[in-house]
A and B are shown apart, each in its own frame.
Chain A
Amino acid sequence: MRNAVKAEVLVPSVVFSSLCVGLAFAPDSLVREFALNRTAVRTGEWWRLWTAHLVHFSPRHALFDAGAALLLGRVAETFLGKRDVAMALLLGAPLLSIAMLLILPNLMDYRGASGPATLLGVMAGVGLWHSRPKFRAPTACLGVLFLAKVASDAFGVPMTLTNLPTNVSIAWQVHLIGVALGLAVSILMCKVDYPAENAATVSRCLG
C-alpha cells in the first residue's frame, strides 16, 4: 500500500499538477521570481524557462490548467510511460518558453501550465488515436474543438472563466507550439503505433 502511494506521488503528471496548485497559493513575490520575464532570462535567470509553466495569475487559473494537465498527463503516461512523459515535460517546458520569447517580442510576464498541458494532450490524443480505430473520429473531434478554442482566443473572443487580471491576455501561441511539440515528441519516441498489449497498460493506469 505504501509503495503504491509512493509510486503515485512520483508520477510526472501528479508532480507537475501538484506543483501548479501549490504555487497558486505562494506569495506574489515568489511567483514573480518564477514567471517568464525576457530581461530576467537574458541576465541569467534560466530557471524561469521551466518555472513559468508552474505559476499562474490566480488560483482558478491554476486549477483549470493543473486539472487539465493531470488528466491529460495520466492518459499520456498510459501510452508512453512515465519516464517519457517526464522527459517530455522537462525538455518541452524550456522549448515552449524559448519559442514564446522568440514569437512575442514584447513578452515580459508569462505564466501558465497550458503549454505543457497541450503537449501532454497531443501525446495522449495520438496514443488514443492509435489504440483503436473506433476512437479516431472522437479524438479528431476533440482536436478540432481544441483548435477552435485556440482560434477564438487568437481572434480576441476568449471563453474565459478564469478571471484573469484585466491587463493579461491569453497566449494562444503557446497552445499551437504545444501541439507542434506534442506531435514531434510522439513521432520521435516512435511509440505512436500502439499494439493491442497496451490495452492492459491502459487498464492498469486508469483503473
Chain B
Amino acid sequence: MNGLIRVSMVALLFTLSGCASMLGQPSHTAHAGSVVDYLYPDAKAAPQMQPEVTHLHPPVRVGIAFVPGSTYGAGPTEAEKMKLLSQVKDSFAKYGYIGSIEFIPSSYLRPRGGFENLDQISRMFNVEVIALVSYDQIQFNDTNSLAVLYWTIVGAYMIHGDKYDVQTLLDTSVFDVGSRKLLFRAPGSSEVKGTASMAGFSEHSRIAQEQGYQKAVDQMIPALRSELEEFKERIKTDAAYAVENKPGYAGDLEWVGLALAVLLFGMAYAQRRQS
C-alpha cells in the first residue's frame, strides 16, 4: 500500500512539473513594422540614390501612415496608432511650410508594398510627402533562480521567477515621394525591465509593452519637432533642396483701381470747391 502511495506521489510530482514546463514563456517575442521591409522588400543590396535636387513646393501636402506590421494584429492597437498619428500630425501642423495633413488608413498600405505602393497612396490622397511611422518591439523572457519554487504550485502565483526585458524602437521617416528621398527621420526608443510570477507574467509583460511603447512615443515626438525645425532651416541653405512656392493670391487694385481712386478723390475735391 505504501509503495502504491509513493508511486502516486512521484507520478503527481512529475505531472505538476510537466504543467509548469508547459506554461514556460517563449525566450523572446517580436512585433515589428519595419520601414526598410516595407519600402525595399526584395533588396539584396543597398539602394542606389542618384544625386539630384529635391523640389519642395510649400505649403507641402503631407500624408501620415503607420508602416504595416509583419504579423497581422501584432504591435500597437489601432487606438494607440491613431493617438500616435495625431501627435505626429500636431507636430507637423505647427509649421507654415506644411499645408494639408492627411491620415493614411493602414488598409491602404500593403505589407512589403515598396515605393510603388507609396506612389499609389501619394496619387490617391494627393500628398507629396509621406511620414511613415514604424515600430519594432522585442521582448526577451528569462527565468531567475526563484523559478524553482514554481514546483510548489503556490510559488507559481507568489514568486517572481520570470524576467522580461521589453525593448521598443519607434521611428518616423519622412519621404519625398517624387524623388523617393528620405528628408529626415526622428527616432524614439525605450527599455522596460521587470519580473513577474508565472501566473502573472502575461499581464505584467503586456503592461511593460504598453509602457515601453509610450516611453518611446514620449521620446520620438520631441525629436520629431526638433527635426522639423532643423529641416525648416536646412532647406534654406542646402543645395540639395529647391523650394518653389505654390501659387499665391494677391489683393491687387492695379493701376485701374488707383486711377478710379484718383477720380473719386477728384470728385470729392470738386464737391468741396463748389460748397
Contact = CB atoms under 8 A, between A and B. Distances in A.
A and B part of one assembly? yes
Interface of A: 32-33, 35, 37-40, 42-43, 45, 53, 56-57, 61, 64-65, 67-68, 71-72, 74-75, 78, 100, 104, 107-115, 117-118, 121, 124-125, 128, 131-132, 135, 138-139, 142, 145-146, 149, 158-162, 164-165, 167-171, 174-175, 196, 199-200, 202-203, 206-207
Given A65-B251, A108-B59, A171-B251, 12 more contacts: A39-B93, A45-B96, A53-B251, A65-B252, A108-B248, A113-B251, A142-B263, A160-B254, A164-B250, A165-B248, A167-B247, A168-B249
Given A199-B271, A202-B275, A57 B264 contact: no
Contacts of B269: 206
A56 B251 CA distance: 8
B271 A128 contact: yes
Nearest to A65: B253
B258 interface: yes
Nearest to B95: A39
B252 A61 contact: yes
B260 A142 contact: yes
Given A113-B251, A149-B256, A128 B267 contact: yes
Contact of A42 (B93, B247, B265): B93
Contacts of B247: 167-169
Nearest to B273: A203
A168 B258 CA distance: 20
Contacts of A113: 251
A160 B253 CA distance: 9
Contacts of B253: 64-65, 68, 114, 117-118, 175
Contact of B265 (A35, A43, A74, A196): A74
10 contacts: A35-B248, A38-B99, A40-B96, A71-B261, A75-B268, A142-B263, A158-B254, A161-B254, A164-B252, A202-B271
Contacts of B262: 71
Nearest to A127: B268
Contact of A202 (B250, B254, B255, B268): B268
Nearest to A52: B251
A202 B98 CA distance: 49
B257 A114 contact: yes
Contacts of A67: 258, 261
B265 A39 contact: no
Given A40-B96, A68-B261, A146-B260, A61 B250 contact: yes
Contacts of B99: 38-39, 108
Interface residues of B, number: 35
Contacts of B254: 64, 149, 158-162, 170
A124 B264 contact: yes
B59 A124 contact: no
Interface in B209-260: 245-258, 260
B94 interface: yes
Interface in B94-115: 94-96, 98-100
B271 A109 contact: no
A193 to B, nearest CB: 16
Interface in B16-52: none
Contacts of A56: 250
Minimum-distance CB pairs A-B, first 5: A112-B251, A199-B275, A109-B248, A114-B251, A171-B249
Contacts of B246: 108-109, 167
A68 B257 contact: yes
B6 interface: no
A43 B251 contact: no
B196 to A, nearest CB: 44
A202 B271 CA distance: 8
B123 interface: no
A47 to B, nearest CB: 13
Of the candidates B59, B94, B100, B264, the one having the most CB atoms from chain A within 10 angstroms of its own CB is B264
Of the candidates B59, B261, B263, the one having the most CB atoms from chain A within 10 angstroms of its own CB is B261
A33 to B, nearest CB: 8
Contacts of A139: 264, 267
Interface string B79-99: 000000000000001111011
A31 to B, nearest CB: 11
B268 A78 contact: yes
Contacts of B264: 71-72, 75, 121, 124-125, 128, 139, 142
